[in-house]
Amino acid sequence: MKRVNIFVGEFGSGKTELTINYAMELRKQVEHVAVVDLDLVKPIFRTRENQQLFQAKDILLSAPPSHLAASDLPIMPQSLPKLLAEPNTHLVIDVGGNEASIVLAQYCSAIENAGYQCLMVVNTFRPFTSTVEGILDVMHTIERLSKLSITGFVCNSNLGIETTVTQIEEGLTLLEQVALLAKRPIANVIVPHWLSGTWPSEKYSILELTPYTKYPWLEQEAQG
């Protein structure tokens, strides 16, 4: 088990939801878990918006100060260097989409020294990651800017609440081609909680995902 777990990928790949779910699963295994919000680009739907949830699960949140939490400003979490140096704390880092991964470069030496896995989250139903070539291009861009190696992939192919097992299988088939060319493993396959028990494959590690982010348009549909 690596102490530093980094989730990168294209915009809209599902990194934030995965970060939340992964951190809570990790907390069941280790005592000290910290979530680091390095999404400095997107002004909404960030891990920092789930502070109360993390507190309830005894998970530390490293993010900009609360009075700046909603600011559309590139503010770095000041506690990250200290957390990277703490050998007993496991980190889960949510990074902004694609080129926003450049923020990792200034910490690359400390991250490497701590021991890390950097997983690229891929939703094959998103425009820039719908082909083998597109996924590889995003991967190479992130590696070049972050100065870190992507160690594996997470298959998060979905269409939100309309996701089916068939769609996940289609996305996985495409990502398997990428993994073969990139010579990197598929670390996890994400299955939404409402499809729990329906996933037939035992080849990959499955992470059942419960959505915590509140999307206004979905709430309006539910109320309407």
Domain ranges of the chain: 4-223
- Percent share of the chain, pLDDT over 70: 85
Instruction: Please report the pLDDT score of residue 67 as a whole number.
Output: 43
| Helical residues (DSSP H) of the chain, grouped into ranges | 15-27, 51-56, 80-85, 108-114, 132-146, 165-182, 216-223
158-183 burial code (b ≥16 CB/10 A, e <16): beeeebeeeebeebbebbeebbeebe
Taking a C-beta distance cutoff of 8 angstroms, is the pair 176, 186 a contact? yes
CA distances from 59 to 45, 54, 118, 135 (A): 19, 5, 20, 32
Q: Which residue has the higher pLDDT, 217 or 167?
A: 167
Q: Distance (Å, rounded) from C-alpha 52 to C-alpha 153?
A: 29
Instruction: Please report the pLDDT score of residue 222 as a whole number.
Output: 45
Give the chain's length: 224
- As its CATH architecture, domain 4-223 has 3-Layer(aba) Sandwich (3.40)
Whether residue 223 is predicted with pLDDT greater than 80 in this model: the reply is no
- Confidence band for 41, pLDDT divided at 50, 70 and 90: low
Whether residue 175 is predicted with pLDDT greater than 70 in this model: the reply is yes
The residue behind tokens 């490497």 is 112
- Percent share of the chain, pLDDT over 90: 69
Tokens linked to 89: 């704390």
The segment with the largest mean pLDDT, out of 56-70, 92-106, 176-190, is: 176-190
For residue 79, what are the contacts with CB-CB under 8 A and spacing of at least 6?
Answer: 62
Taking a C-beta distance cutoff of 8 angstroms, is the pair 6, 80 a contact? no
Instruction: Please report the pLDDT score of residue 45 as a whole number.
Output: 47
What does the pLDDT look like over 49-84, one tens digit per residue?
A: 788 889 999 999 997 655 445 555 456 678 999 999
